Structure 1
Amino acid sequence: MPTEAIALSQPQAQLDPHFTLRPLRLDEDVAVIHPWYQMDYAHYWNMQDMTLEATRDFYADALGSGHMRAFMGFYRGAPAFVMECYDPRHDPLGKRYAVQPGDLGMHFFVGPSAQPIRHFTRDVLRAVMAFLFDELGARRVVVEPDIRNHKVHRLNRLVGFVEQGPVELPAKTALLAFCTPADFFQSLEGSSPL
């Protein structure tokens, strides 16, 4: 387990215990995540043309704002994904819906894998959701992926997100969706065994 990693509570058998998260350490982690954002499948993140320095600056500015947090996710001790969470009240999204107390916006990105693992991205998202509810105390998780990103819409539905419809944001047309703890745990209970 990485130093200072936060292990996930395991109230449900469907949560893989091999996932851990820790706060992003920009100086050491940017060299890991920058190449991930250059991958073909990263185009929805709009960071493919950013240099390593620009990626570092983006995170330094966002983290310095006090309204965004970022975490490095590990699988069996190896870097596997990044998760960002933010306060929608301080984001353009907050002007597009009625923000409620306890709302937490979220983005996640899964790094490339040397060996495919069945349902890996779904399990990453389950780990992220458990972390947001259990460790960060979110009352509702808010997502706004690009409306064309059908793969992530399907994943979001699998973990309990309820779609609200399209919203116009500065860089994209997004599909707004919400997930409560009850929605998430119901999705786990309704899932088939792995």
Structure 2
Amino acid sequence: MSDKNSAPEILFSRTDPALGEFAVRALDPLKDSELLHSWVTHPKASFWMMQDATLPDVEREYMGIAAAEHHDAYIGLHNGRPAFLMERYDPAHVELVGLYDPQPGDVGMHFLTAPSDTPVHGFTRAVITTVMAMLFEDPATARVVVEPDVHNKAVHALNEAVGFEIVRQIAKPEKDAYLSTCTREQYLAAIGVTTR
């Protein structure tokens, strides 16, 4: 029997040589909703499109994801403290239905770093590297697919840094986006791992 007050199970972790320990745990929609609300409504999270969300809105959104068959949400930790939000989804069923031709092994993702008054150089890149490493830890993942807003220049640069290539611009109901993909090989090459 597990202790109700025990720390949530760590699902993935990696050590960044410069910034320390990054880890990922399941998101609890009720316990984490206040924290998430402060993140997704922050001005720096404008591309998350939840600026006007109430606390019940955030609870509802993440309870819906928790119940969804093709969508999962996680809290990322940096040196043990909550520092980012990660979502994994099946793009054949969520976000990109009818907007691209899914391939076996495709996995979609979103990530959001917590707002900070003291930005740490290289932090967001370490976060996206952690997200990608977790996704590719699953041998069934062949390619990661994303659909960032065309105006989100910071994320385009981060995506490129971990191996994403823009396929084309697509029109989603809520935004114009760059459909972008990254294979396992592209990711490993981008982070400097050679495979033969």
Q: One fold, TM greater than 0.5?
A: yes
Paired amino acid for 1:98 = D
Q: Which residue matches 1:4?
A: 9
1:71 is displaced (CA, Å) by 0.5
Residue 144 (structure 1) aligned with residue 163 (structure 2): no
Change (3 A) 1:94 1:80: same
Which secondary structure does the structure 2 equivalent of 1:56 belong to?
helix
Structure 1 runs not aligned, ≥5 long: none
Q: Which residue matches 2:3?
A: none
Q: Which residue matches 2:98?
A: 95
1:165 is displaced (CA, Å) by 1.4
Residue 51 of structure 1 is aligned with which of 30, 37, 54?
54
Structure 2 runs not aligned, ≥5 long: 1-6
Residue 169 (structure 1) aligned with residue 172 (structure 2): yes
Kept in 2, the 8 Å contact 1:14–1:188? The answer is: no
The correspondence of residues 120-131 of structure 1 with structure 2, limited to 5 A, is 120-131=123-134
Change (3 A) 1:107 1:136: farther
State the structure with bigger RCO (CA 8 A, min sep 6), 1 or 2.
1
Which secondary structure does the structure 2 equivalent of 1:107 belong to?
strand
Q: Which residue matches 2:38?
A: 35
Kept in 1, the 8 Å contact 2:21–2:78? The answer is: yes
Q: Which residue matches 1:64?
A: 67
Q: Which residue matches 2:4?
A: none
Change (3 A) 1:112 1:17: same
More helix by share: 1
Q: Which residue matches 1:85?
A: 88
TM-score, structure 2 normalization: 0.89
TM-score, structure 1 normalization: 0.90
1:15 is displaced (CA, Å) by 8.5
Q: Which residue matches 2:185?
A: 182
Q: Identity of counterpart residues, as a percentage?
A: 38
Paired amino acid for 1:94 = V
Paired amino acid for 1:31 = E
Quick one: distance in 2 between partners of 1:136 and 1:83?
19
* Cα root mean square deviation, aligned: 1.9
